[in-house]
Structure 1
């Protein structure tokens, strides 16, 4: 099998209609799935909100079957299986896992590396929030010839180029999943490029931002939404936003115009033209990533395209999209697990990735102090009390680069760092060793600029 660029049309396998860069139309994919002789068998890590949703989708999307589910919290995995009402069995070794699957029961366990090696599985989905462990079990999945689909944006950012290269060597596909903002924005971009527009801005819509949110202050909001406290903190302090936009930057070779992006407040996405000097930004940086804050449609995404063709401009005006030459296209929602299955199916059926880091690490998310920190303080990583993350271009890093947020957990500061100051890689030591740092640096070398 071979990997196809996310910007190319995938080759046709059996029963495969022609695909645009945005993928098949939903009814075409549904019919393809209905026509398959065998199911697409999925193994998955992560039994949180996203994992539960994906497990449910595997029960309602034609030709999908989840055969194994792992979570470090075995009770969470059991609860997930029971809530979705699938027959399951808790397993603890490889033989038991494979016997369970052969008996048409979902194999549930704590060890994602065990699930990643399941003989029956065709695709491995990482829907966990692990970073360090994800490098291990995602590599195991690839080495056991599973297509790897990432719903774990943080591990995708940290190790994506390395995992993509390893997948290519094994003849399987590496892909970011659809449904989260970066995947949905990518589909918008595929569309506008197919129409003949040049990409100017890949845009996110952020509802609320508090850089200093922490797992205690976030409790009321997280409880209201039934979210994990650290996860909700990462959403609120902007780290997750940065990770999503860095994935887009690394896939498409985009830049951030400033550290953390601009993020002006807006009432509606239609105000993008008033809030950004699009001509100046495009001329200086080329296509960029950015966001607007507090705007409607809440939960939506957007992309700005450029077209200076006089006929097309007349038609776009007729279609009520503005005078041009800059046009904003937006989608009022992203549906996470609900719309994830087509990207998974295309990875399996067409060896095709919706999104992968073809440019290498052109951008990353770096740690900044949430409060005054002392020498000897231990950082608690994404969604914690000590630091938040801002997206920055790697090319803008000096000889003393920042500490990637994906590596910040458990790192210990060697000097005091005032609130809002960037934490340098040289300012920390890693008490648990530097395996992840070395893999991250190897990942940076796999593709793109050194």
Structure 2
């Protein structure tokens, strides 16, 4: 390639910093600007301080392509809106944003999730297995542990040990993150979910569990997006699929088992280290890897972890001790509040532990993200 693509990164956390380091190594890419809300004068540990800016206008005006990885739905939506208006392609490492406002942007410009996190890795694996003739039935995410209502002391310990924000640590632990990821996979790959909250079977054998989930998908009549609890399995993704029965003997020889369901495992996901692959895909005309689609069928509802009282404020729903997220079918949960919108929200009514928060239960501040969600659900086929 003769042209050097100017890459802008929105976000300076673990993921944003890691992407910047990798972009800086590429001969056909240049790290143009890095957008942050932090005080730049205090960021002495950032590897490219001369690229930092607090100005969205400065950021957008000096980039050919934007990577959004702020981890913030409300703020990230504002940044992407400016990028789309400037006709810039947008790559996200922000599944929470995708399932909340990604469909709004999919109708307006180019937006794709990156490889690295499980949704992008599943999308890449999907392309690979389909090219080999497989017909996917299960898009599987592997999770090693789950605690629906973790305690502060434990979360502070793991946050400090892993160098990851407290809210992100909570979201990983209480299942919100994996529910978000699998909702995005379902919407982006034309799949569905078996039940609200997902089946989430425990597994000591991915081939066996994959086959059980594939049988569930066959009975439902559509592919499903799922996750398994498998503490001894690698931190990767898998697809369980069917194949042409005439290939059965060959697949047995290839150590894929007897069929009729075959599980293809990718035993890793390397987060920011894989994002450059998606950047190169986009600039070389490879198109969208994965986004939330224009007409999503799965949302991520906020479920009360305890009884919430009128007047109680939810500063940020994702990664809180008040709510967690669950993937739900939009057809039967049209009034649910996406957990990504619960920012500086105030409860209007009592919501008991385990109940879904609806728009009747809470007052939300005005935001582009809220506008985007309301437009998305208004234009869904179920509401037309």
Q: How far did 1:59 drift?
A: 1.6
Q: Which runs of 5+ in 1 are unaligned?
A: 1-35, 90-105, 168-172
Alpha carbons of structure 1 residues 213 and 413: separation in structure 2 relative to 1, 3 Å: same
Partner of 2:157: 220
Q: Distance in 2 between matches of 1:419 and 1:116?
A: 43
The offset of 1:319, in angstroms, is 1.0
2:214 aligned with 1:278? yes
Query: Is 1:436 matched up with 2:372?
Result: no
- Secondary structure, aligned partner of 2:360: helix
Q: Which whole-Å CA distance do the structure 2 matches of 1:132 and 1:318 have between them?
A: 51
Show structure 2 runs of 5+ residues with no match: none
- The 5 A counterparts of 1:215-254 are 216-254=153-191
The superposition leaves residues 157-215 of structure 1 with CA deviations (integer Å, 9 ceiling, x where unpaired) of 21111112211xxxxx3211111100101111112211222110100001111111255
**Could you say which residue in structure 2 is the equivalent of 1:361?**
296
Equivalent residue in structure 2 for 1:50, among 15, 19, 39: 15
**Structure 1 CA distance for aligned equivalents of residues 84 and 286 of structure 2:** 14
**Distance in 2 between residues matched to 1:367 and 1:331, nearest whole Å:** 30
| 1:76–1:407 distance in 2 versus 1, CA, 3 Å | farther
CA 1:300 to 1:77, structure 2 compared with 1: closer, same or farther past 3 Å? farther
Q: Distance in 2 between matches of 1:174 and 1:445?
A: 21
Distance 1:61 1:181, change over 3 A: same
What is the root-mean-square deviation of aligned Cα atoms in Å?
2.0
Tell me the TM-score normalized by structure 1: 0.80
- Return closer, same or farther for 1:303/1:54 CA change in 2, 3 Å cut-off: same
Partner Cα separation in structure 2 for residue 128 and residue 280 of structure 1: 36
The residue aligned with 2:310 is 375
Calculate the TM-score normalised by the size of structure 2. Answer: 0.93
Structure 1: distance between partners of 2:15 and 2:41: 12
Question: 1:449: how far off?
Answer: 5.0
**Quick check: 1:110 aligned with 2:45?**
no
Q: In the TM superposition, what is the alpha-carbon distance from 1:402 to its structure 2 partner?
A: 1.5
CA contact (8 A) 1:214 1:230 kept: no
Superposed, 1:153-192 pairs within 5 Å as 153-167=95-109, 173-192=110-129
CA distance in 1, matches of 2:53, 2:197: 39
Task: Give per-residue Cα distances to partners, 1:1-36, cap 9 Å, x unaligned.
Answer: xxxxxxxxxxxxxxxxxxxxxxxxxxxxxxxxxxx2
1:288 maps to: 224
Q: SS in structure 2 opposite 1:305?
A: strand
